[in-house]
Chains A and B, each alone.
Chain A
Amino acid sequence: MGTKASKLPKDLLSEYQELTFLTKQEILLAHKRYNELLAGEDRHLPSPRVPMSKILTLPELKSNPFRKRICYVFSTSELRDGSLTFEDFLDLLSAFSDSATLEIKSHYAFRIFDFDDDGTLDPGDLEMLVNCLTGDTEDTRLTPEEMRQLINNILEESDIDKDGTVNLSEFQHVISRSPDFVSSFKIVL
């Protein structure tokens, strides 16, 4: 399961093809890009990890406001530092690929938006989400009044059991009716 050689073994490649939504070319390209990020000495470890700071230099993730969340969600590191193995990286690309199903996309989207990892989108998560969307600086934020109004609106539309939070099935239900989601939740290397 290692990426010791810079060339991907054939059987591994086919296995990846089976297990992800990516095509052969996409996997090979991903492998090439991943190896570029990997430091020289790490290449000889059994399952090397690329630290998050390096992953974030990819132009595809660089301007994404959720880049850190994406790394945390797809990382299998026990240190929770957002570092990715090659297989994590493939998982990421697979979820964001064109042919991934809506179900998988919405599942990962939910986890990305769930900033405190508690399994529901509560008002705090939603506020962070909106702040990510409008920009980081102070002057690009909505006023507290506007924010409260916006969160109330979102909850009114999506919180069906009225418990004040959005859970996964509620989220997937809302997403399934959103025409723009599938086209926007997409990263192509």
Chain B
Amino acid sequence: MDNVDGAFLSRRVVAVNNPLLDQLPSYQTLLYRRKSSGSSSTKRRRVSRGRYGSTSSGGGTQDVRGKCAYGRTQDGPSRSTTEHRLARELPLNMAEKRRHKLQLYRDLSGWKQWRSSAGHYLKRMREEGSVVFSSMQLWRTDIHLIEGMFGTGILSYFSFLRFLVLLNFMMFLLIFSFVILPVIVAKRTLFLTVYVFVCMCSEIECSVYPPRSRQGLVVFHQYITDLLSGTGFLEQTYLFYGSYMVESIQFPSFSYSVPIAYLLCTIAYLLLSLLWIVKRYSSVCSVCVSDSFCNKIFAAWDCCITNENAARLKHKSLLYELKTDLEEERIRQKIAERSRQEKCRIYTLRFTLNLFVICVLAACFYAIYIATIFSQQIQAQVKCTCASQQYTFIVALIFEYLPSIVITMANFITPIIFTIIISFEDYSPAFEIRFTLLRCVFMRLASIGVLLFSLWSQIRCPETDCPCGYNKKLYPCWETHVGQEMYKLLIFDFLIIGAVTLFVEFPRKILVNHCDYALVKWLGQQEFAIPHNVLEIIYGQTICWIGAFYCPLLPAINTIKYYLVFYIKKVTLVNNCRPASRPFRASSSTFFFLAVLLIGLVLATVPIIVMSNTHTHTLSTGYCAHYSEHDSVSNTHTHTHTHTHTLSTGYCAHYSNTHTHTHTLSTGYCAHYSEHDSVSNTHTLSTVYCAHYSEHDSVSNTHTHTHTHTHTHTHTHRVLATVPIIVSMTQ
């Protein structure tokens, strides 16, 4: 019995018995926390420790009394404060206690009374607010269902998905309210009133410009192509950068500079994402992530489990986890005991395997590069010859989607290679998983980088024959083009997620359930692998961040996409999958998701910064080379002339040649040749896509003249592109 009582002595005595424990800094923080929680538990309503007394009052064995003695001695010093607190707290619930509270309040000064009652009121409001807020949360019931069935690891994936939906929606709101809405308003008022704002040049031309020279009878499947690849009728919509060719909007009292708003919006949404991620990150990190055995043993059982099946599963997964952890520890010991010779062998093996991995990565990147270039060239060819009929619908679509297909293939094959390779490298199991994951992350995110790089190499052209700094012949508005590529990647990613669920996971489930072949049984049911699923959505998010600059509606599309992905994943989880045999801990997984997401964000910022810096030319000359320095516009007319054309390319550059003017308008698709000699035979050029040469010297005199005339008339900033047409019509 001595033993028993000794064990439940007060904490102070135990601490003396345990001088080592007392010296631990973490123990000191624990003591501190206890103290502060004691004082902060004023916030709790029904705090009472006096109930130990009532427990033992019912009588009991010595043993029980001894235990209760522990409670009493420990709470002795804080008892008076507890009483005080209790009296203050409880009247909130009980009518009888309210009197008691009033009595206590009379002892307090007026200021303190007011402060505490105000504090209570605020706290109650906050609690009610949080209850209302949590009931309004998106997918609350779905997420609870998933938690009950599959545990907290998979729950963290879904709450991460919800976070991304919200983030995308906020990004969309930001862009919509500061860029899209003003432009839409401005464009609408353009038709109602006289041109309110400056150089809405593309509008009239765009109305002439048919979706990629498809006029008259358009085959139905071409609409599908357009929808999937963002070309044709989609190209002129607000989806892409090209539609925001508004220099500034002249409101009655002030002028709204769209380019600046656009740039600030980009910075703002990147910052918003960064801050939001960091905020989530900090809330995760505040819980110290502990991987110790003690955490696994003492906090192992989830007492919330009421389902017997779930309990059985929990037993199994605990056993598995413990076994693998012990195994890992043994392997770690074995590694420590390795001889030098063995070490040498393993390091050389790892080195060669890493070289091999690099080769695989390089091959993938090269394939992406080749595919992008090839796809771009085919697209350019189709554009130039207007001969989309050359390829059938499906083939043309495949060519369009070639980069996306290659990237998806690479992302599908490389993880398999990596998991095979890693088993030879002889790492510890936990490190194996992490390292494979790291390679996959690199593969996923770098493939986007390679795609951008190859696109960039196509857009850029040699200095000599490139007055505008980029290949205007092929990419009249390269920003729109990049936006289209990102749009395609996003759509394709979504299609793949849907297709894999429908055509791989679902049949697999049916096969496993209804076939008895050994192979099928060995394959087993699909496991819901959290890391790969997370990688998939982070890949999509990175594309969205990059693409949002070129395709401002991409966050909206991404919101819708993730909204649907949530349901797809939920259905496949509940119907097709079994829980992973190796559980993924909630605390570590959330950490991992956010870390990878942060890498994705950084990766997305780099191309935006690089592209906007190296090509300040195209950027500052405007949306698709418009936004120009005002003084140069007003001073030199040849300059304004050039600007008009840079602007109008892509939509339709027009002939200033009066002869062919009507003809051009009807095709609506061609080029403005300022070059004098070629003006004479423009007929041949009418079908050729838009070559606009801006050699200013060769511009004909009469031309410059007419422009001068109109410009003085319109005072430089008026619907520039309409000017030549109007002029030529009057001629």
- Hey, which bits of chain A sit against chain B, CB under 8 A? 10-11, 14, 17-24, 47, 59-60, 62-66, 76-78, 80, 85, 87-88, 91, 94, 96, 99, 101-104, 107, 109, 111, 113, 117-120, 126, 129-130, 133-135, 140, 142, 146, 149-150, 153-154, 157-158, 160-162, 167-181, 183-188
Contact = CB atoms under 8 A, between A and B. Distances in A.
Given A18-B90, A18-B97, A175-B299, 16 more contacts: A14-B97, A62-B308, A76-B58, A76-B64, A91-B55, A107-B70, A120-B7, A134-B318, A142-B319, A149-B329, A153-B293, A161-B18, A168-B14, A178-B294, A180-B295, A186-B304
Interface in B592-621: none
B465 interface: no
Contacts of B322: 130, 133-134, 142, 146, 150
Contacts of A88: 55, 58
A78 B60 contact: yes
A176 B46 contact: no
Contacts, number: 217
A113 B299 CA distance: 11
A19 B48 contact: yes
B544 to A, nearest CB: 32
A178 B290 CA distance: 6
Contacts of B21: 160-161, 169-170, 173
B293 A154 contact: yes
Nearest to A162: B20
Q: Per DSSP, are chain A's interface residues mostly helix, strand or loop, or mixed?
A: helix
A80 B64 CA distance: 10
B61 A78 contact: yes
8 contacts: A14-B96, A17-B90, A65-B315, A96-B303, A140-B316, A157-B294, A176-B33, A183-B302
Given A133-B300, A154-B297, A175-B298, A17 B18 contact: no
A179 B288 contact: yes
Interface string B367-389: 00000000000000000000000
Nearest to B26: A177
B650 to A, nearest CB: 55
B27 interface: yes
B319 A63 contact: no
Contact of B18 (A22, A119, A160, A174): A160
A113 B54 contact: no
Given A14-B96, A19-B54, A142-B322, A129 B297 contact: yes
Given A20-B51, A161-B18, A187 B26 contact: no
Given A119-B3, A134-B318, A185-B303, A20 B46 contact: yes
Given A78-B61, A184-B300, A178 B54 contact: no
B18 A184 contact: no
Nearest to B48: A19
For the complex of A and B, list the 4 residue pairs with the smallest distance between their C-beta atoms, beginning with the closest.
Answer: A119-B7, A63-B311, A19-B51, A181-B299
Given A14-B94, A179-B587, A118 B298 contact: no
Contacts of A120: 7
Contacts of A185: 299, 303
Nearest to A15: B54
Contacts of B467: none
Interface string B34-73: 1001000100101111110011101111011001001100
A177 B288 contact: yes
Nearest to B297: A154
B48 A20 contact: yes
B12 to A, nearest CB: 10
A117 B4 CA distance: 8
Contacts of B54: 19, 87
B30 A176 contact: yes
B298 A173 contact: no
Nearest to A153: B293
Contacts of A153: 293, 329
A187 B301 contact: no
B7 A167 contact: yes
A162 B90 CA distance: 45
B125 interface: no
